[in-house]
Each structure stands twice: as C-alpha cells, then as structure tokens.
C-alpha cells in the first residue's frame, strides 16, 4: 500500500468509529425535525461515513477513502459546533434575551464560516461518491486455483430480460438471432404480443410498470441463475465479458452496475447501455416495490421520471447504489453508442492511437447500432480473428447450441 493510503487507513482506524458515532448522534439531534426524505438521505450519508462497513467492492481507490474521511471530519466539526451553538443559545437565554440572541447569533455565524472552511487545506469536496466497479485483473484471476476458476465459469450465469415491443420488431428479431443466444436464459418481455416472435406478454403500456412486472417475473423464474441483465433490443451485449466483470463478485451482495450517470444528487445506471443486477439487489428491489410511498408503481405524480431514474431511487432506499462498470484500466465497459460512432468520434480527435482512444477490448455493451451492424458485430466478436494470436483465458465458455452465426 502506498504511504498515503496507510496514513488514511490509520486515521480511519483510530478516529473512524468514534467519529461515525458522534456524527450520527449529532445529525439525529439537529435534524430530527427535518422532512422525512431529507432525513433518509442524511441517514444514507451516515451509512456512507462508515467506510469500513462498505463492501470492499465500493472502495476502489485512495480517493474514495479520503473522501469518506473528509466528509466524516468536516461534518462532525460543523455539527459539533452547531450543537454547541444551540446549547449556548439556550444558556444565554437564561440571563437576558437580547444578550442571548447576540451571543447565539455570533456563534452560529462562526459555525457557518467554519462550515466553508476546508480541512487539511484541501479544496472543498463535493459529496460525489462515484462508485467504480472494475473487472478483475489477470493477476487476480491467476491467483485462484484452476479448479476454482472452472467452477466459476459454470457458476456465473446470467438471466437476460429484454424489454421489447412490436414497434421495434426488427431489433427484437436481431437480438433474438444474435447476442441473446449467449445468455444462460433470455426472456423477452413485451407490452403486446407479436405473432412472429415469442415473448412474455405483460399487457402493460406504462414503461415503469412493465419493467416492475418483468423484474418480478425474472426473479420468480430465475431458477439458480444469480445475475440479471436488463436491456432493450437496441443494445448489443457480450455476455461473456459481463460474466468476466462479475466473476469474483458475490451475487448475494447487492450490485447495480452499468454506465453510471448523475442527475443532480441521483446516481443511476443508464438503461440504454444495459443494467446489471445481482440476485440480492433484485430481491431488495422487489421488496421495496411493495412500498407505495417510496417506490410507487404508477410513477411520481408531479413529474414523470424515466424508468432508469425511478429504478435508481427505489434501489437507493434499499441501500443499493449505481456502480460504473470499467475494465482494469478504467475504461467504461457499458457504451451508450455503437462501436462505429465511438470510432468516428475518436478519429475526429486525431489521436495517435484511434482504437486506444475509443473502446475497451472487453467491452460489454454497445447501443444505437442498426440491425445489420449488430450482425457484423456478432461476426466480429465471435468469429473474426487473426490466426496465431491465442489467449490463455482463465475461464472457458462454450458456443450455444443451435446457433450458426457464432
């Protein structure tokens, strides 16, 4: 570990537990009367303070750890002073009203000034805890014994829930003929049935309600599959690379992975580039579906949020947060654009290496491609290759039965 990480780890060990407790208590005191949702989001912040309690997958770098501690110290400082301010005010009131007001006011002024003061001379850190979930490195995998690796190949199994409608029939057919064959189970969920293609007809026009029903159905029919991939047929997914990403992650822990975006305070996974849920995340989600206040079925009345955001809000209530799926070099694995579009963009910037500036070798999803381009990608991923370049992968996945284009 680098020296700086050691220092942070040491500080956290010594001060961490005490600070966490103090911070929590202070927050409860001062903000007890606040609006319920605000309190809840604060209690979520509380949870975030307890960095040790976060699953290791959520702490991916020094930066995350430092932010954790910074927030702890800063908030405690402010909150501690705020408490003092309040209690002093109460004391002053005992002697004379005016004096008390002035004294209290002065202290609260001091507190707000200190609130803007950053600790340790570092710039004021925005409460932005962006979670990165990285694929295992070659070294990590090689450390596992071979028998364990083969076992993992068989154990990591994915249930694909593909949300279709007759309006996108050609994409639906393309997904069925291409990438979905590599899911351990692929189920198409439609709003109304189409004669040509088989699907579970949810008879639901509202997108959010449709997604909820699909997820319930997926959970009930998953068998022993523990990972869930939700996508539209306009997305192309390489399921083997998805399996690689989650290979050493426990599906009995909550995982909610994809291309993570931020909207105000809400961090959510973009639907168009595919959403990955572990079994535990799905279980928690289905449980909170029953809470009409937190996670209403007919959408939030005042403004209609997209399904991806509603999903993120519901999951957040259960303590599950969006994570950005990345390769070992930090390149995003879930793409909201097609390979062609990303290459063109890279080319336009005229970099020394167009492909290096574009996309990961282990990309999981691309979106926005035409059906023909998806057929080309199918050929490009599962067949086209240069003779004599062999990989010694730690896992092995067999081609699916009854398929001729892979």
Q: Which residues bind other proteins (CB under 8 A)?
A: 138, 153, 182, 238-241, 243-244, 339-340, 343-344, 346-347, 353-356, 358-359, 361-363, 372-373, 375-399, 404-406
**At closest approach, how far in Å is the CB of 39 from other proteins?**
44
Nearer to other proteins, 104 or 136 (CB): 136
Q: Computed over its alpha carbons, how large is the radius of gyration of the chain?
A: 25
What are the start-end ranges of the E strands in 211-287? 227-231, 235-237, 256-258, 260-263, 266-269, 275-278
Q: Tokens 């770098």 correspond to what residue?
A: 61
**At closest approach, how far in Å is the CB of 182 from other proteins?**
8
Cβ–Cβ < 8 Å for 228, 158? yes
Cβ–Cβ < 8 Å for 126, 379? no
**At closest approach, how far in Å is the CB of 355 from other proteins?**
5
Nearer to other proteins, 182 or 213 (CB): 182
The set of long-range contacts for 143-150, using a CB threshold of 8 Å and a minimum separation of 24, is 144/394, 149/394, 149/395, 150/395, 150/396
Q: Nearest CA to 279 among 123, 165, 367, 159? A: 159
**At closest approach, how far in Å is the CB of 151 from other proteins?**
14
**At closest approach, how far in Å is the CB of 135 from other proteins?**
9
Nearer to other proteins, 49 or 171 (CB): 171
Nearer to other proteins, 12 or 182 (CB): 182
What is the DSSP annotation of 270-336? -STT-EEEEHHHHHHHHHHTT-TTTS-TT--SSS---HHHHHHHHHHHTT--EEEEE-TTS-BSB-S
Nearer to other proteins, 161 or 339 (CB): 339
**At closest approach, how far in Å is the CB of 356 from other proteins?**
7
What does the block give as tokens for 5? 């990480």
**At closest approach, how far in Å is the CB of 295 from other proteins?**
35
Nearer to other proteins, 55 or 380 (CB): 380
Q: Is 36 exposed, middle or buried (0-12, 13-18, 19+ CB in 10 A)?
A: exposed
Nearer to other proteins, 201 or 393 (CB): 393
Q: Is 259 exposed, middle or buried (0-12, 13-18, 19+ CB in 10 A)?
A: buried
Nearer to other proteins, 24 or 174 (CB): 174
Separation CA 152–CA 245 (nearest Å): 12
What does the block give as tokens for 138? 């070659």
Q: Nearest CA to 30 among 69, 84, 68? A: 84
- For the chain, the residue count is 406
**At closest approach, how far in Å is the CB of 376 from other proteins?**
5
């Amino acid at each position: 570990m680098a020296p700086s990480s050691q220092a942070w780890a040491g500080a956290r060990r010594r001060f961490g537990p005490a600070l966490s407790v103090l911070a929590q208590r202070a927050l409860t005191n001062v903000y007890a009367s606040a609006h319920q949702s605000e309190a809840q989001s604060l209690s979520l912040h509380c949870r975030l303070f307890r960095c040790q309690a976060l699953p290791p997958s959520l702490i991916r770098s020094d930066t995350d750890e430092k932010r954790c501690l910074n927030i702890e110290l800063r908030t405690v400082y402010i909150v501690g002073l705020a408490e003092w301010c309040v209690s002093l005010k109460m004391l002053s009131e005992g002697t004379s009203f005016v004096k008390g007001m002035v004294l209290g006011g002065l202290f609260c002024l001091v507190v707000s000034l200190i609130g803007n003061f950053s600790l340790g001379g570092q710039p004021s850190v925005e409460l932005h805890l962006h979670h990165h979930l990285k694929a295992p490195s070659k070294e990590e995998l090689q450390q596992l014994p071979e028998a364990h690796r083969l076992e993992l190949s068989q154990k990591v199994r994915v249930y694909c829930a593909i949300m279709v409608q007759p309006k996108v029939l050609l994409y639906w057919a393309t997904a069925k003929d291409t990438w979905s064959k590599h899911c351990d189970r692929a189920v198409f969920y439609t709003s109304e049935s189409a004669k040509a293609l088989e699907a579970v007809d949810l008879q639901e026009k509202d997108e959010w309600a449709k997604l909820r029903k699909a997820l319930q159905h997926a959970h009930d029919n998953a068998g022993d599959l523990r990972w869930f991939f939700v996508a539209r047929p306009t997305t192309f997914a390489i399921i083997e690379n998805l399996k690689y990403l989650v290979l050493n992650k426990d599906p009995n822990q909550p995982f909610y992975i994809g291309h993570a975006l931020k909207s105000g305070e809400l961090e959510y996974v973009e639907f168009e580039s595919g959403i990955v849920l572990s079994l535990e995340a799905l279980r928690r989600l289905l449980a909170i579906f029953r809470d009409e206040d937190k996670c209403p079925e007919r959408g939030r009345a005042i403004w209609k949020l997209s399904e991806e955001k509603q999903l993120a809000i519901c999951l957040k209530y259960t303590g599950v947060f969006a994570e950005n799926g990345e390769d070992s070099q930090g390149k995003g694995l879930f793409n909201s654009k097609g390979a062609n579009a990303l290459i063109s963009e890279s080319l336009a910037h005229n970099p020394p290496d167009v492909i290096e500036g574009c996309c990961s070798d282990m990309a999981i999803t691309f979106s926005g491609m035409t059906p023909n381009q998806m057929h080309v990608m199918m050929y490009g991923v599962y067949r086209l290759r240069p003779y004599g370049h062999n990989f010694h992968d730690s896992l092995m996945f067999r081609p699916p039965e009854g398929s001729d284009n892979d």
